[in-house]
Amino acid sequence: VQLQASGGGLVQTGGSLRLSCAASMSVRTFSRYGMGWFRQAPGKGREFVAAISTSGASTNYANSVKGRFTVSRDDALNTLYLQMNSLKPEDTAVYYCAADSKSPMVPKSRGYDYWGQGTQVTVSS
């Protein structure tokens, strides 16, 4: 399983970005994974951002992004998305996507099996 995040960049406070995570596996396989987004800011540990269960039935968000970020998936394209609106300087981080096979029907904040390379998001004040 390989995951590749993209879509990061430099944006001003209040702006928007959409991150994508492409998964290199069969469509049937991808649809069976729960997916999540995490981020790591300079000098800090990795933190949970958002998760989505199989079929997109359930989602889960960190309190810090609730109401601003939206996680979604397109199983036909093997792709996970994170729409980020109303961005703040504290959202600056490297963002990672992850896949979970153990309990994919629960959009969980930990315990993922596979991790992708990150994409840098920088929000200027």
Q: What is the DSSP letter of 116?
A: P
Please state, rounded to an integer, the average pLDDT across all residues of the chain. Answer: 96
pLDDT digits (tens, 9 = 90+) for 19-67: 999 999 877 799 999 999 999 999 999 999 999 999 899 999 999 999 9
Q: What is the pLDDT of residue 27?
A: 72
pLDDT category at 117 given cuts 50, 70, 90 is very high
Amino acid at 31: S
Average pLDDT over residues 81-101: 97
